Amino acid sequence: MAAAIEIQKLSKRYGDLLALDNIQLTIDTGEFFALLGPNGAGKTTLISILAGLTIASSGQAKIMGHDVVADYGQSRRKLGVVPQELVYDPFFTVRELLVIQSGYYGIRKNDAWIDEILYRLDLTRKADTNMRALSGGMKRRVLVAQALVHKPPVIILDEPTAGVDVELRQALWQFIKQLNRDGHTIVLTTHYLEEAEALCNRVAMLKQGKIVVLDSIRNLIKSIQGLTVQMRLSCEKLPAALQSWPTSSSEGFHYFKMENYPQIELLLAMLRQENIQVLDMQLQQPDLEEVFVKIMGAQSLETP
C-alpha cells in the first residue's frame, strides 16, 4: 500500500527566502501525525504544496501514490484540507455549500454523507442558514465539513480549533478520532501542543524550513530528563540551604528541578529542617510543550 504522504527532497524558494529546505517525510496510511513549528517555519507552505495551491521549486510530493503536480486530479481527490483562514462563499446556505463542494469532485446524491457530517459537527440546525449569518465557530465547523464531503483518505487540519469554544473542540476531536479509527490518515498542525500530545502518534517539527525532529511523541518526551515539583511555601524567600537548588519562582510558586524521584524526599526533608511548610505541591512531568520549547529555543540552524 502506498504511503499516505510521501515527500522527497522538497524545497520552495520565494526570491531570496528559502521557505522549505530539502524536506524528506513519509506519513504512513492510518497515522495521526502532528506537523509542528513556530510561525514562519514553513508549515503552511508545505500544506499548500500538498494541496496543489503552490508549486515546489524542486523535489516531489505524493498523496496516496499520486504526484501532486503530474497527477493533480487524483491527488486532490485523496486529500481534504481544513485551512487556517475562514474562507467561505457568503451566498449559500450550509447544505447548499456542501452539495456544491460535492459537485467539484463529481459526486452526486451525497445527501446521506452530508447529513452525517452535519450531525457529527452539530450543524444540523444550521443546515439551511446562510453562511453570512453564522458565528466564527460555526464557520469553522463548515470548513471541516467541506474538507470531508468527498470522504478523502488523507485529511490535513491546519489549526482547526483556533479561536473555537471548548464544546466544539471536544466534538471535533471525537469525530476526527473516529475517522482515524476508520482508517483515515490525519495530519494536524496546531499551537495547542496538549492536543498534539493527546491525539498524535508521531511528530515532525519544522524550524526555518527544515525538519529538525521526526520521532514518536513518546520517544521525544522520554528524551527530557528529570521532572519539576511546583510548590507554594510558607516563606517567600528560600533559605540559604535551598538557594543552590535548581529552581525558579513565579506568582508565589517555586519550581524545583529534579533528576529523579528520590530527590523529592530530600527536598521535603530540607524544608522540614528549615521549618518551612508546604502549602501546595504539584508534580509536573515532561510534556511535548517542554520538548518543543527546548528544540525551538536551541541555537538557530546555519543557513546553507
* Lowest pLDDT segment from 109-123, 136-150, 154-168, 185-199: 154-168
Name the pLDDT band for 303 (thresholds 50, 70, 90): very low
Our measurement of the distance from residue 186's CA atom to the centroid of its chain's CA atoms, rounded to an integer in Å, reads 10
Cα atoms in the 13 Å half-sphere on the side-chain side of 27: 29
**Confidence at 242, pLDDT banded by 50, 70, 90:** confident
Above pLDDT 70, what percent of the chain?
97
- Which among 187, 131, 181 has a CA at the least distance from the CA of 158? 187
Separation CA 131–CA 168 (nearest Å): 18
pLDDT in tens, 18-41: 999 999 999 999 999 999 998 889
Say which residue the cell 498523496 belongs to: 63
Whole-prediction pTM value?
A: 0.81
253 CB burial (10 A radius; 0-12, 13-18, 19+):
middle
Q: Mind listing the pLDDT tens digit for each residue in 62-100?
A: 999 999 999 999 999 999 999 888 877 888 999 999 999
Q: Closest by alpha carbon to 79, among 182, 175, 162, 187?
A: 187
Closest CA to 54 of 37, 65, 68: 68
The rounded mean pLDDT for the chain is: 88
Query: Given the DSSP bridges, would you call strands 79-82 and 253-258 parallel, antiparallel or unpaired?
Result: unpaired
Backbone CA torsion sign across 163, 169, 171, 173:
positive
Q: Angle, to 10 degrees, between the axis of helix 166-181 and the axis of helix 111-120?
A: 130
Domain 5-221 is classified in which CATH homologous superfamily? P-loop containing nucleotide triphosphate hydrolases (3.40.50.300)
The CATH T-level fold of domain 225-284 is: Alpha-Beta Plaits (3.30.70)
CB–CB of 112/146 below 8 Å? Answer: no
CA distances from 188 to 170, 192, 218, 262, 302 (A): 15, 11, 17, 38, 27
Measured at the CA of 263, the angle between CA 259 and CA 269, to 5 degrees, comes to: 160
Cell numbers 505541591 correspond to 281
The residues near 80 (Cβ < 8 Å, ≥ 6 apart) are 147, 148, 149, 150, 152, 154, 155, 156
Q: What is the pLDDT of residues 192-218, one digit of tens each?
A: 888 899 899 999 999 999 999 999 988
- At residue 235, the 3 state secondary structure works out as coil
**DSSP E strands: which ranges in the chain?**
5-14, 17-27, 32-36, 58-63, 66-67, 79-82, 154-158, 185-189, 202-207, 210-216, 227-233, 247-250, 253-258, 278-284
> Domain locations in the chain?
5-221, 225-284
pLDDT at 1: 66
